[in-house]
Structure 1
Amino acid sequence: MTSATYHLAGDSTVAPMKPAEEPMSGWGHFLEEASGIPTRNHAFGGATTESFLETGSWERLLADVQPGDTVLIQFGHNDQKQPELLASRGGYQDRLRRFVADVRARAASPVLCTSCARRWFDGDRVTPTHGDYPNAVRDLAHELDVPLIDLSVFTTWLYEDLGDEGSARLLSHYAPGETTAWPDGLTDDTHFRIDGARKIAAFVAASLRGIERRDGDLPPRGGSLVH
């Protein structure tokens, strides 16, 4: 039987690493490595739920989806910059609802993800910057009975656990001369470097094992999560 495939829809924090920008990378670049499951990553920088539709990226993703596959959906970073079109309880949720319906229509399994937190510290705590968008995803997942991977919670915990200095090593903080992409250095608290992307991918892979009942002594993966 052909192995099921993971398909990723999202923004730059999910997107494949570009050779010219190494070591900056989205977590999706390392999901196949972490999970052992074939992965097709359609995420791209600057993507919103609307631009993912407008560019044809969603249709291209769906064209490869087979029964039993899983589609992970993570937006919000850029949607929040267009509050009139993509309000958290308006256009944003509407488009996520469409994505879920489209995936289920193909006898595949949608999984919703909240946005990864920005690493903005105030003392020893990370300041939330996504407003109502994570709650909109959580509520929609509950409404539609869709599995949720809460990356807002996980990355906030991860950064606070490591602390301001330790967590900086997961993000794109580059000293002058460290990388060819940013010869003058870079301080970016949104985008991961390889180490950070691998940690997020490992958490997503472990979460998927739980969602698919493949963790511990539970039965191996079989069938779809479609409801």
Structure 2
Amino acid sequence: MKVLLAGDSTVANCPTHEYPMSGWGARLPPHSYTWAAVHNFAKGGASTESFREEGLWGQLLAEADHGDLVLIQFGHNDQKKPHLAARTGYAANLRSMVAEVRALGALPVLCTSVERRHFLAGPSSDASLEESLEDYPEVVREIGLELGLPVIDLNSWTRALYMRLGREESASLFCHFAPGEHAHWPDGLTDNTHFSQQGAAVVAEHVAGQLQELGLAPLGLAPTTAGRG
């Protein structure tokens, strides 16, 4: 069995010049090496449209076989284009992807987009998060119900994770560097969209656990303890 990933930068294997930035897909292989190989086709900046236009979707389908899992997570870049609105172009593209995966005998698994870490102004004891992805996560949930698909709700889960950790501690999940602190980011970086190695590992562990709970991965695999507490 293979696990094939379609998505944007929050899933992707980021280029070396962006290290330690990482998508969660890059940290998934340690959780599946005993039962499945991970093939990560996700790319930074990808939408449901550009992923197909750039040939990445075709490459993924060419690798997919009967019984493989195809995890699909888009939304961050779709929401930047009016014609890919959640209930029109985005939803139509997701339905097409699902149909094409099913036609190969593989199993599509929809993932809601991981939330951005945008805490609203206010005291940390009263902190709340912006819902930065609008109705894109809800559309994924609806399509999952409509088409009888497994859904991994990363949006709800990451929102709860950031709130549990709080404004200060949750920053470690993302790429935050002061000027001169990291050679790849000499001018500093405050990025609340893209995960650090630690953040990607925490999300990947959750994805692996969800695959087990959904009955899509063998039970009894030894999970890591990254991000637990």
Please state if 1:200 is matched with 2:198. no
* Aligned pairs (5 A) from 1:53-132: 53-83=52-82, 85-122=83-120, 123=122, 124-132=127-135
Quick one: distance in 2 between partners of 1:205 and 1:46?
24
What amino acid does structure 1 have at the position aligned with 2:26?
H
- Greater Cα shift, 173-182 or 10-19: 173-182
Secondary structure of residue in 2 paired with 1:187: strand
1:211 to partner: Cα distance:
1.4
Report if the CA contact (8 A) 1:169-1:196 is conserved.
yes
1:153 corresponds, among 149, 152, 156, to: 156
TM-score (norm 2): 0.90
Quick one: distance in 2 between partners of 1:120 and 1:50?
26
Please state if 1:5 is matched with 2:8. no
Quick one: distance in 2 between partners of 1:153 and 1:35?
23
1:214 to partner: Cα distance:
4.7
Structure 2: give runs of 5+ residues left out of the alignment.
221-229
Show CA shifts across 1:135-155 (max 9, x none). 111100100011000010011
Report if the CA contact (8 A) 1:35-1:202 is conserved.
no
* Aligned pairs (5 A) from 1:45-56: 45-56=44-55
1:177 to partner: Cα distance:
2.1
Report if the CA contact (8 A) 2:212-2:219 is conserved.
no
Regions of 4+ moved over 6 Å: none
What amino acid does structure 1 have at the position aligned with 2:133?
H
Report if the CA contact (8 A) 1:11-1:47 is conserved.
yes
Quick one: distance in 1 between partners of 2:193 and 2:32?
24
Counterpart in the other structure of 1:225: none
Structure 1 residues 76 and 185: alpha-carbon distance in aligned structure 2, compared to 1, 3 A threshold: same
Report if the CA contact (8 A) 2:118-2:129 is conserved.
yes
Report if the CA contact (8 A) 1:72-1:112 is conserved.
yes
Please state if 1:185 is matched with 2:188. yes
Secondary structure of residue in 2 paired with 1:167: helix
Report if the CA contact (8 A) 1:5-1:40 is conserved.
yes
Quick one: distance in 1 between partners of 2:32 and 2:210?
10
* Number of residue pairs matched by the alignment: 213
Report if the CA contact (8 A) 1:72-1:111 is conserved.
yes
1:34 to partner: Cα distance:
2.3
Quick one: distance in 2 between partners of 1:70 and 1:97?
16
Identical-residue share of aligned pairs (%)? 52
Quick one: distance in 2 between partners of 1:185 and 1:142?
43
What amino acid does structure 1 have at the position aligned with 2:155?
S
What amino acid does structure 2 have at the position aligned with 1:39?
V
Show CA shifts across 1:28-49 (max 9, x none). 0011112323100000011000
